[in-house]
Amino acid sequence: MEKLGLRRDIDLALHLPMRYEDETRLVPIASLRDGDTAQVEGTVNHAEVQIRGRRQLVARLADDEGDELVLRFLHFFPSHQKALSEGHRVRVRGEARGGFFGLEMVHPAFKVVDEATPLAAALTPVYPSSAALPQAYLRRAVASGLQRADLGEIIPAALLPQGMSTLREALRFLHQPAPEVSLQALENHSHPAWQRLKFEELLAQQLSQLQAKQERALQVAPAFKLARRGLQDPLQERLLAALPFGLTNAQRRVGDEIATDLQLPVPMNRLLQGDVGSGKTVVAALAAAIAIQNGWQCALMAPTEILAEQHFRKLVTWLEPLNIGVAWLTGSRKGKGRRAMLEMVASGKAGLVVGTHAVIQADVQFAKLGLAIIDEQHRFGVAQRLALRSKLEELTPPGTQALEPHLLMMSATPIPRTLAMTVFADLDISTIDELPPGRTPIVTKVFSLSKRDAVIARLRDDAVQGRQTYWVCPLIEESEHLDLQNATATHAYLADALQGHSVGLLHGRMKPAEKAQVMAAFTSGQTSVLVSTTVIEVGVDVPNASLMVIEHAERFGLSQLHQLRGRVGRGAAASVCVLLYGGPLSSTGKARLKAMAETNDGFEIARRDLEIRGPGEFLGARQSGAQLLRFADLTEDLEMVHVARAAAEVMLRDHRSAAERHVVRWLGSKAEYLKA
Ligand code: ADP
Ligand code: MG
């Protein structure tokens, strides 16, 4: 029960059936069809233990019309034999199967009865449970939890959508529905009682998020000043002047949104979303410049070493000429180099600290951390985001007023509107909806793997013309070893087929220094083709690469494919993405490849991904907010999400204590997770 989260009476009362069994009626045996699940009653006219390969108990039941049904038990106890002995009247429930000896039920539920034993008055609930917890026990526990729990109305009547029953009525009904109710309306959650429960749940979720947002608003962050143009020579302006390009309108707009947040004495909690290649890095650098100009430090975290290193290189070339120290921390950097970096961070000499998770390790002491930026935030799970948040709290120097750093998250996987409003409702969102000029759209082609050699011929032509190719080998599930073997074999094959051109190999088992070397050779154009496992997935930026080949594309997720494709199309040359698939394709595999071929738009991809996978999976990490929604469905109940949102705002403003009681009733200890 503890594992199922059933601790309090109210938890039990809110533990609703996933389906029902109808034990309110008896069915004549003559009307049973193969595959029917039904309840019948009759008298045992024969029972014996047979040995047919294995010992089994076989009983024959005849109902009042004289029609017969065989009951078969492959596992049984003496108590079964006793109950099913000749002459006993029994009521059995199970699935009828047209067996060799006529209709039979294997392992039906049964009990000994007499003519007067009443039938169930309500449908019998079947609860989500675990193997270790028998339904009968759970049913009794839920029934008594329902009796004891305080089910008084908390939500002010004026905030409830019209025509909803009270919580108590809805729960009573859902736990013990009357027999004449449509099973279908109950099980597909369209019944009005379910509507009440969904509303309750969505309201709790919206409330807890608005609360989190309000709590955050009470925290204090350093308010940065923006130098007015002409008065000084602010870092941002100098950085802009030094860039080899001008900002797009979208970059300028999101830059302003971020700058506005940074001037407030409340911690920013903003997500910067923009399709792959839309130029998020420079926006991050401009935000960092504001913090540094004000005498604070900025930390930039990326999910992989390759990406962290790439950011580091780019940012060093942008910032060092402006006299800003940039430090660089990763898990693999140890010893003297690491100590020197830690010293730069602690003394404040490093204005910007770039790295992987290593940036928030216990031994990293910042002099004055004012802004934390997380790149590719969707790669960090909920648990990691919670850890980060608590790490940021503890980074506040002792003795000073508890100042929180501002937080900027970046992602190329846009959050669909429904999720933005629910699971991420306490997040402010900035969107780059425009690519830098001069990009030619990527053309995506889908071929069967039998075309592999034809694709390699195309690669050769490209290499001759000085263009570069990524060749991505798929992840082989749960076998890093096979992955590696596969990538190595592909590398050898391509190197042989493309003699005269240099082919590189990159995989997860290589040491960071080796990886860096391979990447450098590719970035400089020395290598024509880079064979790789999915380590290049995020963020890598080599504008001269114009062909992306993905082998066994059907094994990748949609957003992953889109990320990979985004590695090309970064320069002026027309780029192509070739998706090679091995058949036969599953229907979701087909849907993913179709989506890739039909659109380049990251938002559309995200929408289709949500459609194909459902919100829980979309969020990736297991303990995601979406999965905490047990009854409401973010795709189906969108309209109700809006209603709950509006109600939550009013409730938090005008009925504060009721709001708190409602959150506790619904979420108990889970409330923390919803805030991540
Ligand atoms: P992402 O949003 O995927 O992180 P990056 O920040 O890596 O994108 O930028 C992709 C490429 O576009 C980089 O080479 C970057 O220098 C370049 N870039 C960014 N902004 C502009 C711009 N306004 N004009 C031209 N090129 C730009
Ligand atoms: Mg990026």
Residue 71 — very low, low, confident or very high, per pLDDT cuts 50/70/90? very high
**Distance of alpha carbon 344 from the chain centroid:** 36
* C-beta of 280 in contact with ligand 1 (< 6 A): yes
Confidence at residue 367, expressed as pLDDT on a 0 to 100 scale: 87
Q: What is the mean pLDDT of the chain?
A: 85
- Tens digits of per-residue pLDDT, 401-443? 577 889 999 988 777 666 676 667 667 899 999 989 888 789 9
For 473-526, give the secondary structure using H, E and C. Answer: CCCCCCCHHHHHHHHHHHHHHHHHHCCCCCEEEECCCCCHHHHHHHHHHHHCCC
Nearest to 365 by CA among 333, 341, 332, 384: 341
Cα angle 506-508-514, degrees, rounded to a multiple of 5: 55
Strand boundaries in 561-643, DSSP class E: 576-581
- Residue 5, number of CB atoms within 10 A of its CB: 14
Respond yes or no on whether the N-terminal peptide bond of residue 584 is cis (omega within 30° of 0): yes
* C-beta of 664 in contact with ligand 1 (< 6 A): no
Strand partners, 467: none
- Tens digits of per-residue pLDDT, 189-231? 778 899 999 999 999 988 888 887 787 778 888 999 987 655 4
Which of 282, 373, 568, 570 is the pocket-test mutation for ligand 1 (most atoms within 8 Å of CB)? Answer: 282
Question: Which ligand is located closest to the Cα atom of residue 538?
Answer: 2
Nearest CA to ligand 1 atom 19: 279
Tell how far the Cα of 406 is from the centroid of ligand 1, in angstroms: 23
Q: Using CA atoms, how far apart are residues 178 and 181, in angstroms rounded to an integer?
A: 6
- Tens digits of per-residue pLDDT, 333-355? 778 888 888 999 999 999 999 99
- Residue 69, number of CB atoms within 10 A of its CB: 22
What are the backbone angles phi and psi of residue 672, rounded to the nearest 5°? -55, -40
Q: Using CA atoms, how far apart are residues 516 and 170, in angstroms rounded to an integer?
A: 61
- Tens digits of per-residue pLDDT, 614-652? 554 444 433 334 445 778 877 678 788 889 999 999 999
Tell how far the Cα of 277 is from the centroid of ligand 2, in angstroms: 7
Is the separation of the CB atoms in 306 and 535 below 8 Å?
yes
Question: Does residue 168 register a pLDDT over 70?
Answer: yes
Q: Which residues surround ligand 2, an ion (CB under 5 A)?
A: 539
Give the number of the atom of ligand 1 that is nearest the alpha carbon of residue 278. Answer: 2
* C-beta of 433 in contact with ligand 1 (< 6 A): no
Question: Does residue 245 register a pLDDT over 70?
Answer: yes
Q: Using CA atoms, how far apart are residues 312 and 301, in angstroms rounded to an integer?
A: 10
Question: Does residue 545 register a pLDDT over 70?
Answer: yes
* C-beta of 311 in contact with ligand 1 (< 6 A): no
What are the backbone angles phi and psi of residue 613, rounded to the nearest 5°? -100, -25
Residues 6+ apart with CB under 8 A from 129: 4, 135, 138
Question: Which ligand is located closest to the Cα atom of residue 277?
Answer: 1
Nearest CA to ligand 1 atom 24: 436
Nearest to 508 by CA among 304, 232, 244, 320: 304
Nearest CA to ligand 1 atom 15: 279
Question: Which ligand is located closest to the Cα atom of residue 523?
Answer: 1
Which of 435, 442, 523, 541 is the pocket-test mutation for ligand 1 (most atoms within 8 Å of CB)? Answer: 541
Question: Which ligand is located closest to the Cα atom of residue 302?
Answer: 2
- Tens digits of per-residue pLDDT, 350-397? 999 999 877 877 678 888 889 999 987 765 555 556 566 666 666 655
Tell how far the Cα of 310 is from the centroid of ligand 2, in angstroms: 10
Amino acid at 640: M
Question: Model-level pTM greater than 0.85?
Answer: no
Tell how far the Cα of 274 is from the centroid of ligand 2, in angstroms: 9
Strand partners, 274: 432
Q: Using CA atoms, how far apart are residues 193 and 338, in angstroms rounded to an integer?
A: 60
Angle between helices 587-598 and 602-613 (to 10 degrees): 170
Q: Using CA atoms, how far apart are residues 278 and 348, in angstroms rounded to an integer?
A: 31
Which of 243, 253, 278, 523 is the pocket-test mutation for ligand 1 (most atoms within 8 Å of CB)? Answer: 278
Long-range Cβ contacts of 14-17 (<8 Å, 24+ apart) = 14/171, 14/197, 14/666, 15/127, 15/128, 15/138, 15/142, 15/145, 16/125, 16/127, 16/171, 16/174, 16/175, 16/197, 16/630, 16/631, 17/125, 17/126, 17/127, 17/174, 17/175
Give the number of the atom of ligand 1 that is nearest the alpha carbon of residue 274. Answer: 2
Tokens of 324: 């800003």
